[in-house]
Amino acid sequence: MTTPRDLVGGEPTATHTVTFDGRELPAQAGQTVAAVLWSAGILSWRTTRGTGAPRGVFCGIGQCFDCLVTVNGTPNQRACLVPAGPGDTITTQEGTGRAELGC
């Protein structure tokens, strides 16, 4: 089976690690947080404010807000848009990610 990498002749780039909810995950340069989580088999990293339903990537292009995650202590980061940097600390976001709202 031919892969996209086979078609363009690409080679894997250097890797680094990020931490998600205390678990170290490998990441490649240029990967988004969502791509890193997907590569590790993690499909959900946020819960909704009202019902606590699990959410992950929905649109994948930054138009919706289902993939919100907290990165290095900053909530409401769209995982599909934020590049995963070396040593980033990523955590599951509950609701709006804003403690002052009590959500």
In a domain, 18, yes or no: no
| Predicted confidence (pLDDT) per residue in 17-71, tens digit | 999 999 999 999 889 999 999 999 999 998 888 888 888 888 888 888 889 999 9
Residues spanned by the domain of 40: 32-95
Distance of CA 55 to the CA centre of its chain: 11
Evaluate whether residue 13 is within a structural domain: no
Domain membership of residue 79 (yes or no) is yes
In a domain, 66, yes or no: yes
The count of structural domains within the chain is: 1
The β-bridge partners of 23 are 20
The answer to whether residue 55 sits within a structural domain is: yes
Give 56-88 pLDDT, tens digit per residue. 888 888 888 889 999 999 999 999 999 999 999
81 backbone φψ class: left, alpha, beta (φ>0; ψ -120 to 50): alpha
pLDDT tens, residue by residue, 82-98: 999 999 999 998 876 65
CATH code where residue 54 lies: 3.10.20
Helices (H), 1-103: 4-8, 33-39
Kindly report the pTM of this predicted structure.
0.80
Residue 54 lies in a domain: yes
The size of the chain, in residues, is 103
